[in-house]
Amino acid sequence: MDRDERQRIRAERYRTLSLKAAQRAENAYQRSKSMSDVIPMGQPVHGLADRKYREKIWNTMGQSVKHSEKAGYWADKASSVENNTSIYLDDDNAVEKLENKLRELERVQETMKAANKIIRSKKTSELEKHDKLVELGLTESQVRKLFVPNCFGEIGFATCTITNNGANIRRVKQQLEKARTMKSMENKEYSIGDIDVVENYSENRIQLFFNGKPDEAVRDVLKKNGFRWSGYNGCWQAYINYSSRLFIQKIKENEGIQV
């Protein structure tokens, strides 16, 4: 199962939780409404029993509100997962995704530079500029906006926009190089005492397998060093980076995890 499939399953789980919470909210609301319907409009409180009954109505409505908030929370979580376009090095197709992203960023960069060269030319009429910008693939709306000076008094694409896109190109190139390197590396497996270690380059994780559940003190040390329990993989794992490698080196030196 690749990351995309895990993301889809996670989003579906959040959607299900949202629907269940929404149903609980509706049920609590209907209970509260049914309870309040037996009290005539404007009737004053009569005694302790009546007061407790009204408090129960209020608390039931409060449950409806809480469940509604939970429904919104899980719906937001689902949307966040569904709209997450980030590319992770442990994606099975990370190299392909990064190559596509790089091509698009470079295309946009070339388009912006070409557009600025056209629009800032003093030898070309506005009509000619318009036609050339459309030939670049820009829409009529985009072309009109380019002739309006920005907050820096520039026409065309802002210099900072081109600079930021260039920085993104360099970042994606570095990420792509790392993804290609990791894809070509073979996983390593070894043991340190009773801990089985896997340097899982296909998932960009260092994974620690224990014989049973480690005690609380060991779990605290793992968490402080960036390791988290993965129920899916049945191990404690962290991203492969300088910190996780240093932690593994310390385990080797001490022949185990020191608490």
Q: How far apart are CA 114 and CA 120, in angstroms?
A: 10
Question: Quick check: helix, strand or coil at residue 122?
Answer: coil
What burial letters (b/e) apply to 1-19, b meaning 16+ CB within 10 Å? Answer: eeeeeeeeeebeebbebbe
Predicted structure pTM score = 0.55
User: Mind listing the pLDDT tens digit of every residue in the chain (259 residues)?
Assistant: 556 677 788 888 888 999 999 999 999 989 998 888 888 777 887 788 888 888 898 899 899 999 999 999 888 888 887 776 677 776 767 888 899 999 999 999 999 999 999 998 888 888 899 999 999 899 999 999 998 887 778 889 998 899 999 999 999 999 898 888 877 778 889 999 889 999 988 788 899 999 889 999 999 999 999 999 998 889 999 988 889 999 999 988 888 888 7
Residue 224 tokens read as 């402080």
Q: Which amino acid is at 195?
A: I
Sequence-ordered list of residues with C-beta below 8 angstroms from that of 135, at least 6 positions apart, any chain: none
- Where residue 47 falls (left for φ over 0; alpha for ψ -120 to 50; beta otherwise) is left
